[in-house]
Amino acid sequence: MLSPHEFATLMLVKDATGQLEVDRADLDVLLSRQLVSLEHAPSGEALPRLTREGHSFLKAAGRIH
């Protein structure tokens, strides 16, 4: 089960188009549960992106269609 902060972070990652300012501890939990991955942008930044599992989790929670 995700904490409210982790769930909110997952929703922020879903809607992000660029760099995010998120709590590293929440991001680490999402990474360890394989709900997000880090994509390396050409600029060298590591951008969090939803994985298939993250997308499925949000869909099951009724947050995306």
Q: How much is the pLDDT for 65?
A: 60
- Domain definitions of the chain by residue range: 4-60
| H-helix or E-strand spanning residue 57 | helix 52-60
Neighbours of 39 (CB within 10 A): 10
Convert the pLDDT of each residue in 27-54 to its tens digit: 999 999 999 999 998 888 889 999 999 9
User: Per-residue pLDDT for 64 more than 80?
Assistant: no
Q: 4-60 architecture in CATH? A: Orthogonal Bundle (1.10)
Higher pLDDT, 65 or 19: 19
For the entire predicted model, the pTM comes to 0.86
Question: Hey, what are 33's tokens?
Answer: 């549960």
